[in-house]
Chain A
């Protein structure tokens, strides 16, 4: 990997972190409505994963989608404007936090019903199989989604039809406030893939390079025509499930312990220890990200709301 590529991973993770920090503030100021699910703590998962994809590879995820959107190439201002319901948002203010997508960047959302996007991911992969494209559909979901029927229908279908789909479970230990142990009959979630004969692996989701490496192997497997693959990524969200989560279900010591494994901190140390970048270089990069994000906040704040004519637009494609 070139130095630039190493730094780009760092840049993306810091960008996600700062966008989320700003989103939290904007939410507290009442400038963002509805739900807000932050990706803080999980940055290495989608950054590593999506860095391994080719342009023809599709990405689809659940409602904790800001980081995924940024990794897919959606700008900070398009994300923040959408969170603020602005016409310049990536979904023109009609989707909100949970519904970011950019088809041109092969990012297919942002889906808010737990597990419901897994059958849709199977369909995206079916489209590629049918049209004999060599794209892989990368479908991300949380540990909580593995307990709903859609998960099992989709995994089964993907193996029966040998669909080119990579199932990625972001196991952040909790489905809302219910721990994996309390919600799932098996706590090693990847074992569920065994039930469908789908090869699987797991990886430390706090280390962006490990995620990237595992993702590359998994994507290669799927692209080679062997059918679906299942990757469990072990991670942790540092913030609540959504804003206003009282977090009664976990101890602050537990959160602190995971925060010592901050994916950005781990990677920063790695870059310095390996002599890939200096402290000063990374500080400069931090400052650049901060500037980008502050400008994005200003630009999104200043941009107009959708006009009333937007209300009836796009109900149907035809009339």
Chain B
């Protein structure tokens, strides 16, 4: 096992897949000469060349449209959206085209494509550049939505996404790039659509993903000092959503807190809580709690921004509520 950053893990997955398959190529804004605005593709342009690391104009609909078209004819494009907030400029191509073409044409169209998008708040980028709109994209059948919380999962899931014949939106959290974690040596993959228990516990189930895995883990460390053992289930994929480990854990703990960075209304927490109530109602010992972003556009000011984002203390408070 090597201990590397999330950025390195994602970069390695891309590099290895491009070495493995000449049909894999990258396109996006500043992915080439610049090396990626988050430096994920640093060095790629010099190694793989301009044809396989394609700098695009600032034109998200064209980027995703070209991604779809080139996937239809057998390539395996990996598009980078500089931030997921720009995905709204390509919304039609993501949800009306990528998510529907396979179904609408009765399986004739195959879309082996990946859209990498950087999401999340906490970097004082203001309301338009700090969103966590993951649930919006997870709403659409036909699209797969992946959002890893560890370097190991990021590398393994991205490899699976690139090899998959379905369109995958791969959401990377901007503040996780420096996070380090153990990553297996050599080639490995992690299946899309599988949740994972990242930390075992007996008292309460925390369901989370992406950046909030980090927050939840810190909360669990503090709770452990009080003798409260939280089990953390990392969803890793939002669509298709794997509820099995969640339900299994809940049947053991009978209590759940769902932690997400996006807004509470119509969010991941709403969906997961509903499914727990539907699938394990007899096991419920306390109303399920949701921790989420305050219902405001994310402000620039650091203190205000942090007030709006879910914090470790919010998770601890919610856990104590259900116990």
CB neighbours of A122 from chain B (8 A): 62, 65-66, 69
| B40-99 interface with A by 8 A CB criterion | 51, 54, 56-57, 59, 61-75, 77, 92-93, 96-97
CB neighbours of A314 from chain B (8 A): 102-103, 106-107
CB neighbours of A130 from chain B (8 A): 25, 51, 70, 75
| A303-319 interface with B by 8 A CB criterion | 313-319
Instruction: Give the shortest distance, in Å, between B143 (CB) and chain A (any CB).
Output: 9
Q: Judge whether B103 and A317 touch: CB under 8 Å.
A: no
**B96 CB contact (under 8 Å) in A92, A113, A316:** A113
Instruction: Give the shortest distance, in Å, between B56 (CB) and chain A (any CB).
Output: 7
| Distance in angstroms between the alpha carbons of A77 and B59 in the assembled complex | 40
Interface residues on B, range: 35 or more
| Also in contact, A91 and B73, with CB within 8 A (given A113-B92, A123-B65, A153-B61) | no
Total number of residue pairs linking A and B with CB closer than 8 Å? 142
| Also in contact, A316 and B59, with CB within 8 A (given A116-B96, A119-B66, A126-B70) | no
CB neighbours of A316 from chain B (8 A): 102, 142, 144, 166
CB neighbours of B193 from chain A (8 A): 319
Residue in A110, A113, A120, A318 with the greatest tally of chain B CB atoms within 10 Å: A120
Q: Judge whether A157 and B70 touch: CB under 8 Å.
A: no
Among residues of A, the one whose C-beta sits closest to the C-beta of B110 is: A317
Instruction: Give the shortest distance, in Å, between A94 (CB) and chain B (any CB).
Output: 5
| Distance in angstroms between the alpha carbons of A201 and B144 in the assembled complex | 42
Residue in A58, A109, A116, A119 with the greatest tally of chain B CB atoms within 10 Å: A119
**B62 CB contact (under 8 Å) in A91, A125, A153, A319:** A153
Q: Judge whether A101 and B109 touch: CB under 8 Å.
A: yes
30 A-B pairs, CB-CB below 8 angstroms? Answer: A58-B73, A94-B106, A95-B106, A101-B105, A101-B108, A103-B105, A108-B72, A113-B92, A116-B65, A118-B65, A119-B62, A119-B64, A120-B72, A121-B69, A122-B65, A123-B66, A123-B67, A123-B72, A127-B69, A149-B61, A150-B92, A153-B59, A153-B61, A156-B57, A156-B59, A156-B62, A157-B56, A316-B142, A316-B166, A317-B166
Spell out A's residues near B (CB within 8 Å): 58, 91-92, 94-95, 99, 101-103, 108-111, 113, 116-128, 130-131, 149-150, 153-154, 156-157, 160-161, 313-319
Spell out B's residues near A (CB within 8 Å): 25, 51, 54, 56-57, 59, 61-75, 77, 92-93, 96-97, 101-111, 141-142, 144, 164-166, 193, 240
